[in-house]
Amino acid sequence: MNPIARFFLRLLPIALSCVALQVHASDLLIIVNSANLTTLSEAQIADLYAGKEARFPDGRRAVVVDQNDRQEIKRGFYQRLLDMSIAQARAEQAKLLFSNRAAPPREAFSSKEVAALVGSNPNAIGYIDAPFLLNTHRVLARWPQ
Amino acid sequence: MRVRSLWGMMALLPLTGSAVELLDGNLAIHGFGSVAATRTTSSHVGYRQFFQPKVQPGDWAFNTDSLLALQMDVRPHEDLSGTVQVVATTDHTGRFSPRVEWAFVKYDLTPELRLSAGRLLSPTFMQSEYRFARYAFATTRVSQQLYAVYPLSKHNGLSARWARQLAGGSLGIELWGGRESFDVAGDENGLARSYNSDKLAGAVISWENPAWLLRGSYSSARNVTLGGNGYAALEALPPALRAAAALGCNGCSKEADAFERSRRTGATYNVATIGARGRFGEWTLTSELAANETNAIFGEMVASQLTLERRFNDWVPYLSVGTLRIHGNERGTLNLVGPAALQGAIARTNTILDGNDTSRNAYAAGVRWDVMPSVALKAEVEHLSFKSDRYCNGTSPLTSSANCLGDAPRDKRFNLLTLSADFVF
């Protein structure tokens, strides 16, 4: 296969995801690795980020990836997902971490880093700005920002 | 100077960034801490945590509530992990020193059943699991009235926790057991105390959904023995009380048995709690009730706590009401019989039983300000109203510069001020 055809073939999953979910550049995307075929409701995603659930429905332990506090995307994510400010969410996560009930999400410094972590780990889940979507991702949800 | 530098370093910790994560996230180091300043509005009494030594009244104290903790979590396998938590606080000797609070391994036998072994937290109260991580809650500290009923925070042993979804929430049941000892600083006469139990056991049941948390627990300590020179000084009392019983002292035989159990054969000490937390939009209401039963020399206690919080963006003002009732003094009215020496022993026993009565009401108003992610500033005024003149004995958070009994003020009311910066990293 020639390089140009291979390039477009690699873009195909992203293109299909974008068409199916009508992704816009300003959207927030909740993503898993493309090898992860699980489907999650918003409530199940909330449980993962709140530390109340540690596994995907198929039993695999989830690697939950969060963004750095300084990233604006984080504020909107927690407000919509958990109806909490970042400080509230951090206090709730501290309860779980320091009671040893659950590990807090792994923290990445940017959407680019989240994209790389999720793209390389079949058990990872994260959220990113739409332009960072890769063909190694599968989109679980799209939220306009 | 060295200690002040330490607190300065603690204040900078949350600014240094996030936790350390290595080995693809399978080794993580997190931490938390508090830089807290406390003082009473009385020139006669100071504030401390009840196991700490006496403090100087009248000045702001940084060494009673300040703490620093590091926690390392290792996950060598998906279902196996280990945790070590080291907490540095001012201990019963008055030194700001680290101790290993947790050191355990846990294994997920199934997704619903987790087994843990090692040095574990004792999950008696709603906030026991994160009582030192004050960033996790709105108030400046956990209720000292409630935790007086069961002050242990950890034990060496085993636990099994089972959890599953039920009725739109998460149902959890935990069984635990082990052993632990606990040291208390010397009292006004320099008499230190220690408590030991090699048969601790308990059960916790909880159900939680986003709006509600309902929780109950039962903790049992068997073979409880009391040590330290504070109790060694009381060795002569049981024989004297038995002699007094033969001369007609009502209750002396019972108290002699209690002393013998507490010093030698082992007493029992059981605690039951029930608690609930409700979230209604920006409002949160938390309540908890605890009661003990014991055949040791200390009294039976009932404690309660009610806290109401309201969030306004980054601000959380709150009000709380706490109570502690100690019933030991109701049995502490042994009649004086026999010769003067015997009467002295009986009077000493009455003083011990009465002196444990630190029954009180505590009313607090405070505010939390999330000044930046991972850092919360807090301010609180707590009004303490004691029932007895012995307001600086036993589990009281107050100490006196002189003899507690008869010290001013006569109305047994005090205000405790607290300013703190709580953080996680």
User: Is pLDDT larger for residue B320 or for residue A50?
Assistant: B320
Total tally of structural domains belonging to chain B: 1
B391, pLDDT greater than 90 = no
Residue at B239 is within a domain = yes
- CA dihedral over B335, B337, B340, B341, signed as positive or negative: negative
Q: Round to whole Å and give the CA distance between B412 and B386.
A: 5
- Please tell me the distance in Å from B240's CA to the nearest CA on chain A: 48
Please report the pLDDT score of residue A137 as a whole number: 96
Give me the mean pLDDT over the B398-403 stretch.
Answer: 68
Which of B370, B375, B378, B422 is the best substitution to test chain A (most A C-beta atoms within 10 A)? B370
Give me the mean pLDDT over the B270-289 stretch.
Answer: 96
Please report the pLDDT score of residue B338 as a whole number: 83
Residue at B86 is within a domain = no
Residue at B82 is within a domain = no
Query: Which residues span the domain enclosing B360?
Result: 40-61+105-424
Residue at B351 is within a domain = yes
Residue at B89 is within a domain = no
B104: enclosing H helix or E strand: strand B96-108
CB < 8 Å from B in window 65-84 of A: 68-69
Q: Which residue of B has its CA nearest to A105?
A: B25
Q: Is B78 on the interface with A (CB under 8 A)?
A: yes
Q: Round to whole Å and give the CA distance between B399 and B58.
A: 11
A2, pLDDT greater than 80 = no
Non-local CB neighbours of A107 within 8 Å, separated by 6+ positions: A65, A66, A67, A68, B18, B19, B21
Q: Is B106 on the interface with A (CB under 8 A)?
A: yes
Q: How confident is residue A118, by pLDDT bands cut at 50, 70 and 90?
A: very high
Q: Is A103 on the interface with B (CB under 8 A)?
A: yes
Residue at B188 is within a domain = yes
B329, pLDDT greater than 80 = no
Q: Which residues of chain A are within 8 Å of residue B17 when distances are taken between CB atoms?
A: none
Query: Which residues span the domain enclosing A48?
Result: 3-143
Inter-chain touch B137–A91, beta carbons under 8 Å:
yes
The CATH number of whichever domain residue B394 belongs to comes to: 2.40.160
Non-local CB neighbours of B117 within 8 Å, separated by 6+ positions: B104, B105, B106, B157, B158, B159
Q: Which residues of chain B are within 8 Å of residue A90 when distances are taken between CB atoms?
A: 135, 373-374, 424
B95: enclosing H helix or E strand: none
Q: Is A43 on the interface with B (CB under 8 A)?
A: no
Total tally of structural domains belonging to chain A: 1
Please report the pLDDT score of residue B352 as a whole number: 75
Please report the pLDDT score of residue A18 as a whole number: 47
- Please tell me the distance in Å from B169's CA to the nearest CA on chain A: 10
Residue at B8 is within a domain = no
The CATH number of whichever domain residue A111 belongs to comes to: 3.40.190.10
Give me the mean pLDDT over the B80-90 stretch.
Answer: 94
Please report the pLDDT score of residue B8 as a whole number: 54
Contact B417, B28 (CB under 8 A): no
- The SS3 call for residue B10 is helix
Residue at B100 is within a domain = no
Average pLDDT, chain B: 86
Q: Which residue of B has its CA nearest to A65?
A: B25
Q: How confident is residue B333, by pLDDT bands cut at 50, 70 and 90?
A: confident
Counting residues of chain B whose pLDDT is more than 90, the rounded percentage is 48
Q: Which residues of chain A are within 8 Å of residue B106 when distances are taken between CB atoms?
A: 100
